[in-house]
Amino acid sequence: MATYTFQHNGQTHQITLEPQSDGTLRAIMDGRSIALRASRSSNGAWLIDINGTRHTVYTAAQGNERYVHADGQSFTLTVPDARESARRRSTHSADGTAALNAQMPGKVTTVLAAAGDHVERGQTLMILEAMKMEIRVNAPEAGIVMRLLVETGQIVERGQLLAEISAKEN
């Protein structure tokens, strides 16, 4: 018996696989018990037969991410110890500081602000470029640039912290 946990779209799925004496499998998931037959073809695809319906499923793993293609649909899941995804564009901490993260991986082509600057809401702080696309990183609100962590020419990863802004005190 083995139990695996995956997260998808904020939902947690737990699957327990139980081999049966007749060579079939039983999957227990979300409170249901599913009888199935499974095999793996030489090209790596899983062939899964549930109640006479056959599914060809492809899977792949990279870090904590799991990719699956089944019945014409693709999904990306994570396994539980996945690090907090740093996809959010900006996050606010309790002290009113906004963190600006890179929305996409790319190169910093222009830096238009410096630490200590007062910036207005919507003001462009820097420009990123990837695959000939230009993305402006704008201040989410008026404030002071507390930290500016990148420089022109630097390559940044998606989710990397670019700058921090503290809300302006009125």
Partner 1 sequence: MANRLNKCLIANRGEIAVRIIRACRELGIMSVAVYSEADANARHVQLADEAYLIGAASPAESYLNGQKLIETALNVGCDCVHPGYGFLSERESFAQTVIDAGLIWVGPAPTTIRKMGVKTEARALMEKAGVPLVPGYQSDTASDADFIAAAEQIGLPLMVKAAGGGGGKGIRIVNEASELADALVSARREAQNAFGDGRVFLEKYIENARHIEVQILADSHGNTLHLYERECSAQRRHQKVIEETPSPLLNVATRYAICQAAVAAAKAVDYVNAGTVEFIATPGGEFYFLEMNTRLQVEHPVTELVTGVDLVKLQFLVAAGGELPLMQSDIRQTGHAIECRLYAEDPHNGFLPAIGPVLEFIPPEGPGIRVDSGLQSGDHVTIYYDPMIAKIIVYDRRRDGAITRMIGALRETVLLGTTTNRDFLLALLESAVFQNGEIHTGTIDAHLDGLLPDAPPISDAALIALALAENLNQGILSTARTQGTPEGDVYSPWSRGDHFRLKRQ
Contacts to partner 1 by CB under 8 A? 1-4, 6, 8-9, 13, 15, 17-25, 27, 29, 34, 36-42, 44, 46, 48, 50, 55, 57-62, 66-77, 79, 87, 103-107, 109, 129-135, 155, 158
Structure tokens at 21: 């004496």
CB of 123 to partner 1, least distance (A): 14
Please identify, using beta-carbon distances, which residue of 6 and 142 lies nearer to partner 1. 6
d(CA 47, CA 25): 13
Q: Which residues does residue 167 pair with via DSSP β-bridges, in sequence order?
A: 143
One-letter amino acid of 148: L
Q: Which helix (H) or strand (E) holds 163?
A: strand 161-167
Please identify, using beta-carbon distances, which residue of 69 and 147 lies nearer to partner 1. 69
Q: Which helix (H) or strand (E) holds 99?
A: strand 97-101
CB of 16 to partner 1, least distance (A): 8
